[in-house]
Amino acid sequence: MNSRNLSPSPALRAGVIVTRPPPGLGPTMAAVAARGLHPIAAPMLHVRQRALSIGAFRPDAIVLTSGQAVGSLTDPQLHDIPCYVVGVATARRARAAGFSHVTAASGTADELTMLLQAVMPSASRLLLAVGQGYGHEMAVALRGQGYRVLRRCVYAVRPAPCLPPDAVAALRAGQVAAVMFYSTRTAEAFIAALTPALAPLLAVVEAIAMSDGVAAVLGAGVRWHGLRVADRPDQDAMLACLPHGGV
């Protein structure tokens, strides 16, 4: 586990702000509570599903870079098609939705691209289901390898304009030990939502980042008590960065 400017958390700070949107928000809140900490919901992105339309395109495989895409893939005819996803959490959602052949990469889009190149023949038809503004680079990379890629935006996200009242109250009361960030977009939305009165309160709070890219956003212009980057881009590694319960 990487640490940057890290020192022990102040005593009596057991609150953990979780910034990811549903449906991942609930399981993460439960996992934080199981560690003896107090989870505080602060979803910094609002997700809106979009209908999927692929016309006559018949994919050899479906590719998902986020579990948020699963909600739009409701056609049962798609569920027997091999589905390649970014990580284990997305794989669980895909299986729960009815997909019968799901293979997970190790947590990043680059690893998902390498997995596809290893198992799918060149010229295969791939349905890349992503959020608005996502997946451009991946589509270009796969097309450069000879794949026929149909990229479809099946959800859109917009940042929350402000922090929820519970999160604001906990910060002002000095009850927050850490804030968890699972993506660059949630990090950007959180930083943008900070008021001049709230920003200085983060100097006694640790930021927990899923990747170096997320950490780069968090470290730009904001002073944290500490900034931790998970060893791997998954929930267990994120949870391992949290302080122990009862701090």
In the sheet that 148-159 helps form, which strands lie side by side, from edge to edge?
45-49, 148-159, 125-131, 61-64, 83-85, 102-104
Q: Which two tokens stand for residue 227?
A: 């900034």
Q: What is the mean pLDDT of the chain?
A: 91
Q: Is the distance from CB of 208 to CB of 228 less than 8 angstroms?
A: yes
Check if 10-44+160-240 and 48-158 are the same fold: yes
pLDDT digits (tens, 9 = 90+) for 162-204: 999 999 999 999 999 999 999 999 999 999 999 999 999 999 9
48-158 carries CATH number 3.40.50.10090:
yes
When pLDDT is cut at 50, 70 and 90, the band that residue 107 belongs to is: confident
pLDDT digits (tens, 9 = 90+) for 54-91: 999 999 999 999 999 999 999 999 999 999 999 988 99
Top CATH class of 10-44+160-240 equals alpha beta
**pLDDT value of residue 12:** 53
Report the phi/psi class of residue 98: left, alpha or beta, with left for phi > 0 and alpha for psi in -120 to 50: left
Q: Would you list the domain boundaries of the chain?
A: 10-44+160-240, 48-158
Residues whose CB is less than 8 angstroms from the CB of residue 43 and which lie 6 or more positions away in sequence, other chains included: 18, 19, 20, 21, 22, 25, 160
Q: Which two tokens stand for residue 153?
A: 């935006």
Question: What average pLDDT does the segment 199-227 reach?
Answer: 94
Q: Dihedral of CA 35/37/42/44: which sign?
A: negative
C-alpha angle 111-21-177 in degrees, rounded to nearest 5: 95
**pLDDT value of residue 1:** 44
Dist CA 35 CA 6 (whole Å): 20
**pLDDT value of residue 5:** 40
Q: Is the distance from CB of 61 to CB of 148 less than 8 angstroms?
A: no
Q: For strand 15-18 and strand 38-41, is the pairing parallel, antiparallel, or unpaired?
A: parallel
Question: What average pLDDT does the segment 147-155 reach?
Answer: 97
Q: Is the distance from CB of 118 to CB of 147 less than 8 angstroms?
A: no
When pLDDT is cut at 50, 70 and 90, the band that residue 4 belongs to is: very low
How much is the pTM?
Answer: 0.81
State how far the alpha carbon of 206 is from the alpha carbons of 6, 27, 98, 226, in Å.
8, 21, 38, 5
Q: Is the distance from CB of 219 to CB of 240 less than 8 angstroms?
A: no
Cis peptide before 200 (omega within 30 of 0): no
As a residue count, the chain comes to 247
Residue that is written with structure tokens 């596809």 in the block: 116
Is the pLDDT reported for residue 8 higher than 50?
A: no
Cα distance from N-terminal residue to C-terminal residue, the chain: 20
